[in-house]
Each structure stands twice: as structure tokens, then as C-alpha cells.
Structure 1
Amino acid sequence: MLLQRLFGIKRITVIGVYKDADQNSFLFTALTVEKKKEELTIVKRNSFTRIEDLALIDKDPVILVFDGKGVLNKKIDYKNEEDVAWKKNLDFNTIYYTAYNTDSTSFISFTRKPFADEILTVLKQNKTEIIDFYVGPLTAVVLKPFIDAPYLVSYKTRLEYDTTGLAGIEKVTQDSPADKYSIGNTVVSAAELPLYAAATNFYINNEGFEKSVLAEININEVLYKRAFNVLGVTMLVAMLLLLMVSYGTIQYLLSENAALKQENLYASHTVSEIQKLKSDMDKKMKILENTGRISKNFMSFYASCLGSSVTSGISFSEMQIAPVNGEIKGEKKIDINAKVILVSGTCISDENLDEWLKVLKKIDWIRTVEILSITKNKEGRHEFELKIILNDF
């Protein structure tokens, strides 16, 4: 069964409910066992006498074994008509029983229901999970292959064996010191033998047993409950992990988003600064362009060219390259005429000036030459002012 393999019960507590024949009181013997691979190990032993102490046992699934006063044992020989008739007349509605059947015989242990119902009611009130139920000593049969002895004492009942198997069953008055049994590395007493055997049979399920069916026992319900608990815890842990991952992812994305917003802010500010600097550069380039400072020809070039072009009889008194238009006043904008050169000087005669003008008109970077004024001074020389307009830079 898949459910058994996935959520199988690995730890159980077997409670022996023994009723004393003389004092009419209970003795409870509890074994807690764990299944590790193929070995069944006793991890806890406990004994008590008060019914109220049943509430103190570990919250493991429980197997019950009833024996002692009120439990009767009988061998039924199928070849004996009286035995067969006795079994047919047995009122199974008023008893709980456990039987071990062979081909020719049946061994049955039984008790009236009130004996067991008292304990079952207490366990039900304690919400104990009951997974199996036996009456009498017969569970010890499953351990006989592991015990080399001619008989077994299971609590206070002697199970006799012959070559064919289980041959007889009878009560004994007390345990003997020799009634200790070793099963592998585990040692159990006669009182513990049917309990350890019941735990063993839970896992191997010997088909020779026949027993009462209790409404309180529903192994599938126990397995479903365990599966639900495991899956519920797993789902809860998974949800918590997903929430943590989701929270971490959200926090990461929020931090990344904040970083991107910061980068966008810086980028926007940078773009704005770049645009501002570009605008400032354009303005300054415009100013430089207007002043001729970014021309391939500098002031010294113009001065040198004009000086070397002068013909005989002409001398310069003043040369203004890119003169300022108007008067410079305070913070008033200065208007520079970058494409103009003003030259003032004197010449001996008009012919000297005409000859130089012809030379100037042949220079490629000069567009036009205008004569602003020409006068004759007291020494007889001609004073002139020229306006040289340059080609585009």
C-alpha cells in the first residue's frame, strides 16, 4: 500500500492489560518499540496499576493485548464434533476474541466485552490512536521460529509445541526465572513476550490469526491523519519558504528599482547639465566665431600678410583687426566686427595707394577694400583710412 510505504508507522506502544486473578485489579505493562529497517527495538518499558495513568503514555499509535482474569483459552479440534459444536454456539456478539488457526485445530482466547470496554472507553477519551487489538497469549506464536524452546510462556499461559506446531494451551500459576526469551538482540520476559509479538505481527501480518473487529480501530484513518499532518506541515513550510522568497524578491526588486530611479535621476541631471554646457559652448563658439578666434588665420597672419603686401611709399600708422563697434561702456555687450580690418596710414601719392589697392584685391581672403577717407596733410603726404572686409571663415 502506497500510503503505508510513504507514511508508515515506525514507532508504536503495545499495552498489556493484565487483570489480577486474586485482587481483581489491573496491571498495565507498556512496551514502546521502533522499527529500524528489519529490526524491532524496544526503546521504552513502563508498568503501572492505575487506569488514570493511561493518559500519561506516549502519544504513539497503540496496540492492546488483554489477558489475565476473565480471559479464557480453548483448543478446538476440527475432528471433534463437540469442539466444533461448542464454537458454533459461541456468541461472538458478547465477546472479544483472538484465534490462531491451523489446518486441523484452532486455538481461541476470549473475554466478555465489559472487561475490554472499560479500557477502550478511557483510551477513546484520551484520543489514543488504537491500531490493533488482541485477547490472550496467542500472539507469541509469531516469535516461536526465533526461539529454540519446546514451549513458550506468554504472560501466565503455557503454549506447548510438538513436531506439527502449536499443540496445547494452559494457564500457569507464576513465571519461572527461566521465562526470559532472546529474539536477536532483544530480551523479553514472559509478560512482555505477547506484547513484543503483537508489535511484530503488526508488521508481518501472520495470516493464521483471526480476531474481533473493533470500530475504534481504523488503520487507514490513522495513516490518512499522519499523511495529512505531514503534508500539512510540508505545505505550511513550503508556503513560509515561498513567502520568504517572495518577500526577499520584492525587497530586491524594490532596492533595484530605487537604484534605477537614482540612476535615472543622475542621468537626467547629467543630460540637463550636458545640454546646458552644450548651449553655453554654442554661445561661446558663436562669440569666438564673431571675434575670428576660431578662424584658421590669426591676427598675426593678417598683420604679416598686410605688412608684406605694402608697396613703396606707404607706411601704416594704425591697424585694427576685428575692431569694436561703438564705445565700450560698463557691462554693455561688446560688438566685435570679426570680418573687418581697419588700416590707417600715409602715402606719398595717390598712385602709391592705387598700386597697393591692386595688390590687396588679389589676396584670396580679402573680399573687398573700401576707402573710408583720404586727405593731404601739411607735409604734403596723403593720409588714408581703409576698411578691409574679409571672406567668411
Structure 2
Amino acid sequence: MINNFLNNILIGNKFQAVQVHFDNDQKEFSVLEVHKKKNDLSIIDRYATNNFEELVEKLSKNRPILLSFSGQGIISKKLDNVPNYRSKLLFNANPDDFHWYEFQQEKHIYASVARKEVITEEIELFKKEQFSVVDISIGPLVVTAIKPLIKSNTLQTKDFDILFENDQITDFSKRNQNSIEEYVIGDENISSENITSFAAVLNYLYPGNEIVADKSFLSVDKEEFVFKKAFNVLGVMMLSFFLVTLLGSYMLLNYYTDANQRVQVELGQQNIAYSKLVSLEKDKENKEAILKESGLNDSKFLSFYISEITKEVPTEINLSVLNVFPTTTKIKAEQRINFINNLIEMEGTVSSYAALTSWVKELKKQPWVGNLEIVDIQRENRTNSFKIKLVLKFDV
């Protein structure tokens, strides 16, 4: 568990898998950015470009790079597992002049090879831009790492169709068409165009015994990346410790400096609070007197009229304003509020004048209605807007 924690800090949990595809004199770069969270891998970004400068702009120098090589110049063959099988693949060429990437089985060896100078040249391009290449794969064989996660017995890469039986390769062949196959792995959809990149990350994190490749020449780059990462982490930790210590010293100094001031401030605040309390008590008494005088503090008193008026409103009437006990003047701060304690104002619209007349007649029958007057009615389009004043009668 501790090793995994340190590995996540020093190597990181985000990887940039770059597939370099050689096509005549051109190169195509396909990138998958993969995030490892616990035991799950998720793709956080994917893109492709033919321009190395554009690729450099998009890649992060704080994340390790895994290179996969495919296309022209890469030789992939099925060989018998016999002594000197490498010489039989290359004929008169020196096997030591090539990087070998092999999937070894009991009877056969599937090998992909590329000249060291070609691979070294590509790695140096990335190193020149201060990127850290920590792993490589050559040809399509790295997809064997992903086969247990896919039910199909045929996996398609950018260049090859690979046949499997019981997760072992039985054969592979160069593809003659440009169709693209989609594979579902967990919650991710991965196309045959970049399946080798995803498999490269999986094989780097969980390497198998059947894939054999000499990657010792990358150990220096990997160590440099770890040291750079460790230096950055240590620098951040030291800076954080320094800032925390400085902040603690500053806070301790301020604490003793402010102790005396706090006592004086608290005393002043208590005096201010007492003055405000006295003022609020007086304000409360004034407002309670106003409410008592106006009758507005009696919720039953107000709700009775609101309920009686609205319970029999016809469907043709849309009542938009119901103002119980309106004020005589506009409300202003620090001034007495005067209410008309026996008046209710109503406004609304009605589609039928007959409905309004009928409703007004019903309201006039109420024993608490002293006077009810339609003070305004205007026709607007197909509706009539109205205003009503209702004077209450309290001696009932």
C-alpha cells in the first residue's frame, strides 16, 4: 500500500500514451491521456495530429509518456520458437541493431522489430522538448495485455488483425482495409485506431511475463523523471512547511499584540450593544402600539375578511389586488404609519360583466359590508379591468 502511494506521488496517476505511426515520409501522432484511479483506468482526453510542434503544445511535461510505434519500418512476424530465431527473421542483418518486442509462447514467438536508430531518433525528439519517455512498445503485440478485458477472439489495430484462442495469439495478418472497430472496456469506448495506446498503459502498470522487450535504455530517463517529480514534491512540501511556520509565528505575535486591544474593543462593543438594545426596545414598543391601534396584529381579524372575499370568487374573475386596510400616505422611515381601518381595495379583470355584477351583489349581502362601490371599470381587448372599494361595518 505504501509502495502504491509513493508510486502515485513520484510517477503519477495520469499517463500520456502516444502512438507514432510511420506512413512514408509522414508521421501521425495519436494520443490518449489516461487516468488511473485505484484499479480503474479512464480516458480523460484523446486527439491526433500530424504536426510535432502542435503535439508538444498539448502534452504535459509533468506526466510520463509511453510511446507506441507502428506503420512502415516496423516488421512483425510469427516465428517458430527455436534457437537463433532472430537471425532467421532478419537474414543477414545484425539482430543487435534492432529493438525487439516479443510475445513468447511455447511453440511460437510473435515478434515486432524496428531499427534502434529510428526508435532512438523519436525518443530524442521528445527528450529535446523536456518530456520523459518511461516506456515503449513496438508493433501490435502490446494489445495482448488488453485481450482478457475483451470477449472477441479477434482484435483489430491500426495495421493488423490479431487472432486469439484462450487469450493466446494464434495468428496475425496485415490489414487490407481501413475500417475502424470499436471496443468497450468498462465505461470506455476505444477504437482500433488507438487500442495500442490504451494497451500500452495497461501493460506498463500491470506487465505480463509473455511480453519480452529490452527497455533498460529507458531506465535513466525514468529515474530522471522520478527525481524531478520527487524534487518538485519535496519543494512544494518544504515551501508549504515554511509558509505554515511563518503564518504560525505571525499569528502568535499578533495574538499577544491584540490581547489588550480585544478587551478594550469588547468593552466598547458592549456599550454600543447596550445603547442599541435600549433603542430597539423603544422602537419595539412604538411598533407594537401602532399595530395595536391599527388592528393589524390580529391575524384572525385580517384573515376573516380575506377568506370571506375570496371564497366565492367566480371563475370568470381574476382578482389581482386585495389590499386590506391601505395606508393613508406612502410609508417613510421613522414616521408614523396611518391605516384606513375600515377600507378594503380590490382590483382585477373579468371576462363577463354579468359575473362581476353577480359577485358584487353577493358581497353586499354580507353583514360586515357597510358600502361596496365599483369605482372604475375599463374594457381591454376581451376582458374588463375593475377597481372596487369596500367599506367595512363593525357594528354587526
TM-score (norm 2): 0.59
CA 1:28–1:164 in 2, change beyond 3 Å: closer, same or farther? closer
Matches of residues 369-388 of structure 1 in structure 2 within 5 Å? Answer: none
Partner in structure 1 of residue 66 of structure 2: 63
Aligned counterpart in structure 1 of residue 20 of structure 2, from 11, 17, 21: 17
CA 1:220–1:121 in 2, change beyond 3 Å: closer, same or farther? closer
Whether the aligned pair in 2 keeps the contact of 1:97 and 1:134 (CA below 8 Å) is: no
In structure 2, what residue type is equivalent to 1:182?
A: V
Deviations 1:288-338 (A, max 9, x none): xxxxxxxxxxxxxxxxxxxxxxxxxxxxxxxxxxxxxxxxxxxxxxxxxxx
Does residue 195 of the first structure (1) align with residue 167 of the second (2)? no
CA 1:246–1:82 in 2, change beyond 3 Å: closer, same or farther? closer
Partner in structure 2 of residue 96 of structure 1: 99
Percent identical residues: 24
Rounded Cα–Cα distance in structure 2 between residues aligned with 1:208 and 1:26: 29
CA 1:164–1:61 in 2, change beyond 3 Å: closer, same or farther? closer
Matches of residues 199-238 of structure 1 in structure 2 within 5 Å? Answer: 199-213=201-215, 215-217=217-219, 218-238=221-241
CA 1:164–1:255 in 2, change beyond 3 Å: closer, same or farther? closer
Aligned counterpart in structure 1 of residue 154 of structure 2, from 111, 132, 151: 151
State the secondary structure of the residue aligned to 2:19: strand
CA 1:151–1:32 in 2, change beyond 3 Å: closer, same or farther? same
Deviations 1:209-234 (A, max 9, x none): 11132534443432332232122101
TM-score (norm 1): 0.59
Rounded Cα–Cα distance in structure 2 between residues aligned with 1:241 and 1:61: 31
In structure 2, what residue type is equivalent to 1:131?
A: V
State the shift of 1:247 in Å: 1.9
Aligned counterpart in structure 2 of residue 133 of structure 1, from 133, 136, 145: 136
CA 1:74–1:41 in 2, change beyond 3 Å: closer, same or farther? same
Partner in structure 1 of residue 341 of structure 2: none
Deviations 1:249-304 (A, max 9, x none): 23334556999xxxxxxxxxxxxxxxxxxxxxxxxxxxxxxxxxxxxxxxxxxxxx
State the shift of 1:88 in Å: 9.4
Unaligned runs of 5+ in 1: 260-393
In structure 2, what residue type is equivalent to 1:125?
A: K
State the secondary structure of the residue aligned to 2:59: coil
Partner in structure 2 of residue 111 of structure 1: 114
Matches of residues 11-90 of structure 1 in structure 2 within 5 Å? Answer: 11-20=14-23, 23-59=24-60, 60-79=63-82, 83=85, 86=88
State the shift of 1:182 in Å: 1.2
In structure 2, what residue type is equivalent to 1:44?
A: D
Aligned counterpart in structure 1 of residue 182 of structure 2, from 180, 183, 186: 180
In structure 2, what residue type is equivalent to 1:25?
A: Q
State the shift of 1:13 in Å: 0.7
Whether the aligned pair in 2 keeps the contact of 1:73 and 1:170 (CA below 8 Å) is: no
State the secondary structure of the residue aligned to 2:96: coil
Whether the aligned pair in 1 keeps the contact of 2:87 and 2:95 (CA below 8 Å) is: no
Unaligned runs of 5+ in 2: 263-396
State the shift of 1:92 in Å: 3.9
State the secondary structure of the residue aligned to 1:238: helix
Rounded Cα–Cα distance in structure 2 between residues aligned with 1:108 and 1:187: 28
Rounded Cα–Cα distance in structure 2 between residues aligned with 1:114 and 1:164: 33
Partner in structure 2 of residue 170 of structure 1: 173
